Amino acid sequence: MSEDERSFSTSLSTLFIEGVLSFLRGIKDVILGCVFALSIVYKNSKIRSKVGLSFILNGFILASSILLFEHVVLPVVLLLTSWTLGLFGKDLTSEQLSWLESLLSYTFTGLWMLPMFLICTPINSIWFREIAIEANDQAAKSLKKKPSRWNFKLMITDLLYAMAIEIVFTIQSTAVNFLPVGGSALSLIHMSFLYSLYSFEYKWFYQGITVQKRLSYIELQWPYFLGFEAHPSLWVWLNCKQYSMAIRSALSTFVRFRPVSLPSPAPLLLSRHNSNHVPVDDVLSGLTKEQIQLRESIRNFCEKELGPVADQIDRDNHFPQMRDFWKKLGKMGLLGITAPEKYNGANLGYLEQTLIVEEMSRVSAAIALSYGAHSNLCVNQIVRNGSEEQKEKYLPK
């Protein structure tokens, strides 16, 4: 096994271990969060009354409607259908009966459950916002700063956007459930991510974190959020799948202020900062020993200097250590890779420049693009078309 293959195998093993640890950290945090939420409900009478109203508004109404449909409406409709067909001398087969029952269930879900869910969601977010404020205030000691208070207009915009995202997640979860192989597992994973987004909504909203950043958190830290909601989602899914919407709605207030005492999950896992390097046969590619050494040195440098902050650069569109990073590139002689030696350049070719850009882009495409622009649009053009005064002033020293 070559050095590159061993490095690639080690990176995969490290990612797997980090993912497992993050998953377990999510399970630990969901337990701590539940303890914290129960303590708030027990100590704060205002929150306790609101939680009780939440159970009545969401759980009782939705659960009662499901019970009414399954034990009264559905049997009556099936009985009337069978009786009506019996008048004409026809009977429903078991297959037809199953098809009719499924059709009625989907109709009930689409015409009653989903509209009720859409009505309850904004009511919960507005009516119970006081709960989130109280919970965040009590957890303020564990936060670096108190949560941000958004204005009403921004809150409505965020609410509508979040609802759209949650609807898309729900549709995806329902769609993948019909896959013949692995559909149920994929549906459960989708719902775990949805419930994580739902659970952390209060915490992130009052910290001023936008929906886009919330989705980015879940994308980059998915093992943590899978662990955080996998157990509750699995319990609901296995024991009372038909009541899952009612149960989640009934517990909406509780689960949504449960994470406020928890720190934001870190570090970001399985993200681009682990680089996208795969083994390459440099000798077969025709590279010289010097070019291979250049590639390896750039790879190690970028993974060390850019790796830990690559995802942050993409997320925030900002690189606080940019100046220091460029100075280090200059000390390595990489800022004038194609410039003549008389101007203190490396006097190398475009192949070497391409190798640098390639290795840099494996870790951060944004910084690689910036380096490419510096080399091609600045250095090369000054070498070709600049005056001697400009070359002396701007080319590498």
CB burial readout 335-372, b (16+ within 10 A) else e: bbbbbeeebebbebeeebbebbbebbbbbbbbbbebbb
pLDDT of residue 65: 76
User: Would you tell me how many other CB atoms lie within 10 Å of the CB of residue 104?
Assistant: 16
Query: Does the predicted TM-score (pTM) go above 0.85?
Result: no
Range of the domain at 120: 14-261
Give per-residue pLDDT as tens, 139-162: 554 444 444 455 667 667 777 777
Q: In whole angstroms, how far apart are CA 391 and each of 328, 345, 352, 379?
A: 21, 11, 22, 9
- Dist. CA 220–CA 276, nearest whole Å: 15
Q: Are residues 228 and 257 in the same domain?
A: yes
Please indicate, yes or no, if residue 270 is contained in any of the structural domains: no
Q: Are residues 253 and 281 in the same domain?
A: no
Instruction: Assign residue 343 the CATH number of its domain.
Output: 1.10.540.10
Picking from 201, 232, 261, the residue at the C-terminal end of a domain is 261
Picking from 261, 287, 311, the residue at the C-terminal end of a domain is 261
Q: Are residues 239 and 345 in the same domain?
A: no
Give per-residue pLDDT as tens, 267-300: 444 444 444 555 556 665 678 888 888 888 888 8
Confidence label for 126 from pLDDT (cuts 50, 70 and 90): low
- For the residues 29-33, what does the mean pLDDT come to? 74
- The domain total for the chain is 2
Range name among 34-43, 62-71, 126-135 with the lowest pLDDT average = 126-135
Per-residue pLDDT at 380 exceeds 70:
yes
Q: Are residues 183 and 230 in the same domain?
A: yes
pLDDT of residue 116: 72
